[in-house]
Amino acid sequence: MSDQTLFANDSGAVELPRLKRSFLEPRALRNTLLTLGTWVAAIIASIPLFSVLYMLIVRGGSRLKLEVLTEFPPAGFELGGGFGNAIVGTLVMVAIAALISIPIGILAAVYLAEIDPKSRLANAARFLAKTLTGMPSILTGVFAYATVVLLTGNYSAYAGGIALAVLILPTVVLTAEEAIKMVPQIMKDAAYGMGCTRTQVIWKVVLPTGLPGILTGVMLAVARATGESAPLLFTALFSNYYLSGLNEPTASLSILIYNFSSMPFENQIELAWAASLVLVMIVLVFNIISRLFGQPRA
């Protein structure tokens, strides 16, 4: 701004300021460069995501036909085949995980947020949950192996489901707690003022109002569980057939991808790509559902 004065010069006359923008002056240059920089960073960050999606669609899409979704995994030199049983296995085990972790997680969150937020139990539980969200997923597999598999004597969908439940439970607890804390105090005051007991305030006002947030957290946790492989390695193992009961080794998409992608057969590798695409689509569906329910109603 050295050429422009806003103040009177010696003779008392005020020079009119030059208002035109200059791209060469240092502040404007810095501004432009940094803006460009953030742009470039965003693009670079998106490249892995888009390239993965691109590869999945191109290499998996070509193999994606109806029979792939229903047939059994092919053996070594076989052609054709599919992974219908893996899809069912994944969905079943994720359902078990959800059935276990959602009720426990929400009720624990109610305790942490409403019942006694400052108690020693609450503080300990919160700390543990925060620590365990970062737990290596293989450890939940080890835990489920040591408890369920050794106890029942066989690999099973139960064990896989429980491993997944243990994996996502901390996340469900923490996101549900946040969602419940977001319910405004004045709304709870209104419920108390109407003569609700604390239980009624929770069931009739807090949980219904916090439901969108809770569901978002739950869906994201479930989406994560769908894609995990380590917890299933020595709990559900694998199977080449549809499961006829929950107490037997079960196929899953993640394990199938893991197995097939290391085989030296073109057929299996193609199927691994197709399975990856299907897995991503399932995760996408869960994310869309979570967004749909995550809209607060107002």
Reference 249, options 100, 148, 122; nearest CA is 148
Interaction between residue 197 and another protein (CB under 8 A): yes
With CB under 8 A as the contact rule, which of the stretches 20-28, 120-128, 196-204, 245-253 interacts with another protein?
196-204
Is 95 or 196 the residue whose CB approaches another protein more closely?
Answer: 196
CB nearer to another protein: pick between 16 and 298: 298
Least separation in angstroms between CB 191 and another protein: 7
Compare residues 93 and 176 and give the one whose CB is closer to another protein.
176
205 near another protein, judged by CB under 8 A: yes
**Nearest approach, Cβ of residue 106 and another protein (Å):** 18
107 sits near another protein (criterion: CB under 8 A): no
**Distance in Å, CB of 73 to another protein, minimum:** 48
List all residues 6 or more positions away from 120 whose beta carbon is below 8 Å from its beta carbon.
none
Residue 44, interface with another protein (CB under 8 A)? no
- Please say which residue, 205 or 280, places its beta carbon nearer to another protein: 205
User: How far apart (Å, rounded) are the C-alpha atoms in residues 223 and 294?
Assistant: 15
Those residues whose C-beta lies under 8 Å from the C-beta of residue 172, and which sit 6 or more positions away, are 101, 102, 105, 106, 109, 217, 218, 221
Please, what is the minimum distance in Å from the beta carbon of residue 288 to another protein?
A: 23
For another protein, give the closer residue by CB, 84 or 213. Answer: 213
Answer for which of 19, 47, 79, 298 binds another protein (CB under 8 A) is 298
Nearby residues of 266 by Cβ (< 8 Å), 6 or more positions away: none
What does the radius of gyration of the chain's CA atoms come to, in whole angstroms? 28
Question: By CB under 8 A, which span of 70-78, 120-128, 151-159, 205-213 interacts with another protein?
Answer: 205-213
| CA-based end-to-end distance of the chain | 49
Of positions 70, 133, 147, 200, contacts another protein by CB under 8 A = 200
Round to whole Å and give the CA distance between 229 and 232. Answer: 5
For another protein, the closer CB: 185 or 244: 185
295 belongs to the binding site for another protein (CB under 8 A): no
Among 209, 235, 250, 290, binds another protein (CB under 8 A): 209
Residue 116 interacts with another protein (CB under 8 A)?
no
Task: Please tell me the count of residues contacting another protein according to CB under 8 A.
Answer: 20
* Residue 204 touches another protein, criterion: CB under 8 A: yes
- Residues of this chain, 166-195, that bind another protein according to CB under 8 A: 184, 186-187, 189-195
- List of residues contacting another protein (CB under 8 A): 184, 186-187, 189-197, 200, 204-205, 208-209, 296-298
